[in-house]
Amino acid sequence: MTPRIYLSSSGLAGDRDLLTATTDRARALIVLNALDGTQALRQRAFQYEAAGLGPLGYECQELDLRQHFGEPDNLASALAQAQLVWVAGGNTFVLARATALSGFDEAVQQVRVNQDFIYAGYSAGACLAGPDLQGIDFMDDANFLPDGYPADAVIRTLCLIDERIVPHWKSESPESAGASAAAKFLKQSRLQFRCLKDGETYVVE
């Protein structure tokens, strides 16, 4: 099975082989914008993520959404040259603002017609796949704005799935308490959601 969507609570999980590249010299684009505003973490992140994807057969390159703010057509062209886009964790609301400013959501929808293209992400990258970010404010600071992000930047998700992903549920992560609060809120609000423990994934063929 080759997934079209691979969502993880925390990094590559035990079923990481599902993401194995199916062509030679396959390219993976790594999105780290959920870490914008945390310079020390961001500087180390690419090497960490590439170390996990490289053994699966990918040549890795960073895709910085900030370089495409206001240029959605260029972003779609960049995605069209990749087999996999891997969206790392961090602040989900920062990532959603970067999505809106760059047109990442529209670009992903354009390239998903390619049967070989996979959207994959964990934590914030998994939350971004849902219809909205209701409940995630129990886990992430919804008001944090890194340098270069306008104050009026809207929040936009990818709407790839109908359920809201709640990562780090009942896990050792420091965000586990926030995940429980998010799940409680979503249940009380009668909204569709799916909780993932660290090590669990949600895969769509």
Are 171 and 10 in contact, with CB atoms under 8 Å apart? yes
Residue range 8-26, pLDDT digits in tens: 999 999 899 999 998 888 9
Residue range 58-102, pLDDT digits in tens: 999 999 999 999 877 789 888 999 999 999 999 999 999 999 999
Rounded CA-CA distance 3/22 in Å is 12
Q: What percent of the chain has pLDDT over 90?
A: 82
Establish how many alpha carbons lie within 13 A of residue 93's alpha carbon, considering only the half-sphere containing its beta carbon. 18
Are 126 and 7 in contact, with CB atoms under 8 Å apart? yes
Are 154 and 105 in contact, with CB atoms under 8 Å apart? no
Provide the 10 A C-beta neighbour count for residue 159.
14
Rounded CA-CA distance 103/72 in Å is 5
Tell me: pLDDT of 28 over 70. Answer: yes
Residue range 117-162, pLDDT digits in tens: 999 999 999 999 999 999 999 999 999 999 999 999 999 999 999 9
Residue 121, H or E segment: strand 118-122
How big is the chain, counted in residues?
A: 205
Domains and CATH numbers, the chain: 5-204 (3.40.50.880)
